[in-house]
Amino acid sequence: MTAQIIDGKAFAAQLREKVGALAADFAEKTGRKAGLAVVLVGDDPASQVYVRSKGKATIAANMESFEHKLAGDTTQEQLEALVDKLNRDPAVDGILVQLPLPSHLDEQAVVDRISPAKDVDGLTPVSTGRLALGLEGLVPCTPLGSLMLLKQIHGDLSGMDAVVVGRSILVGKPMAQLLLAENCTVTIAHSRTRNLAEIVRGADIVVAAVGRAEMVQADWIKQGATVIDVGINRLPPEEGKEKGRLVGDVAFGSASEVAGAITPVPGGVGPMTIAVLLRNTLVAAHRIESIDLPEGAL
C-alpha cells in the first residue's frame, strides 16, 4: 500500500487563518492585540531564523510580536529580570524563551520563572502538572500539533494502541499524556527500550520523537498504522553539496509503503509548531481577559 501523506503545512495554514480571524475579533473586543514575546539569547543561526519566522507569523495573525534579542553573555539575573518584566507587562499574553540557552544559564530556572498564564510553550511545572492531571492548561506546541494531525486523520482515537518513541519533556512525555486523554492505550519507548522494533510493530499510532535520523524502519511499522514523525535531522552533505538533506526519525521512503498515513519531513509536524504557538497565545489572551472563545473554534 502507499500511505496517505499528512500535509502539516496545509493544516497549519488553515489553523493560522482561524487564529488570525479570532485574533482580529479579540482586538476589536478589547481594544488591544494579543501579544507574544520571544526571548533569544546568543547568536545561534538556527534559533535566529526560527525567532524571525515566529515574529512574522505572529504579525500575520493579527497579533503583536515582541522580540528580545540578548547577548550571549547575558547573566542568569538579567534573563530572569526580563522574564519578570514580561510577566508584569499587560501587553504580553505569551512568553517563549528560545531553547537551548547558552550553557552558562540554568534553563529550568528560567522556564520556572514564566507565569503559567503566559506559558505558551507549556513547559512550566504548573503547565506540565495540569496536563498530567487532565486539567485545562497550556500544552506544548509540537505534541498538540501532532495530536491535531492525528485527529484530522482518525477523528476519535479511543481504544487505539499508540507508541511514543522518545521521552523528552518537550515532546515524548506530553504526547503520551495527550494520547491518554484521548483514550488511547499508550506505551512510552526510547532508545534503550528492549525489543523496540517489536513494541513499535504492535501500534496503531507511532509517534517518533527520539532525535535519531531514520531510526524507525519500515519493518517496525504495522500494516496501515499512522506514523507521526517529529524528528528533524540533517544528514551529512553529499559530494558537491553544501548541506545534507533533512530527514525525520522514520525511514520515510520505505515506511510510506507500509503505513496507512505518515507525516513527511519537512512539511509534516514542523509547520504545526508555530501555528499552535499562535493558537496558544490567543488562548492565553482570552483567559487573561476572561473572554470565552467560541466553542470548538480552535
| Residues of the binding site | 166-168, 232
DSSP H or E run through 65? strand 64-70
Q: Is 229 a catalytic residue?
A: no
Rounded distance between C-alpha atoms, residue 185 and residue 244, angstroms: 37
The answer to whether residues 275 and 12 touch, using CB atoms and an 8 Å cutoff, is: yes
Given 33, 93, 98, 229, which residue is catalytic? 98
CA distances to 68, 69, 181, 187 from 51, rounded to whole Å, are 10, 9, 31, 33
Given 33, 54, 173, 222, which residue is catalytic? 54
Given 93, 119, 121, 229, which residue is catalytic? 121
The answer to whether residues 19 and 61 touch, using CB atoms and an 8 Å cutoff, is: yes
The answer to whether residues 214 and 235 touch, using CB atoms and an 8 Å cutoff, is: no
Rounded distance between C-alpha atoms, residue 83 and residue 97, angstroms: 9
**Assigned C-alpha cell, 208:** 517518533
Q: Is 54 a catalytic residue?
A: yes
In the annotated binding site for NADP(+), the residues are 166-168, 232
Q: Is 98 a catalytic residue?
A: yes
The answer to whether residues 225 and 259 touch, using CB atoms and an 8 Å cutoff, is: yes
Rounded distance between C-alpha atoms, residue 129 and residue 125, angstroms: 6
Active-site annotation, residues = 54, 98, 121
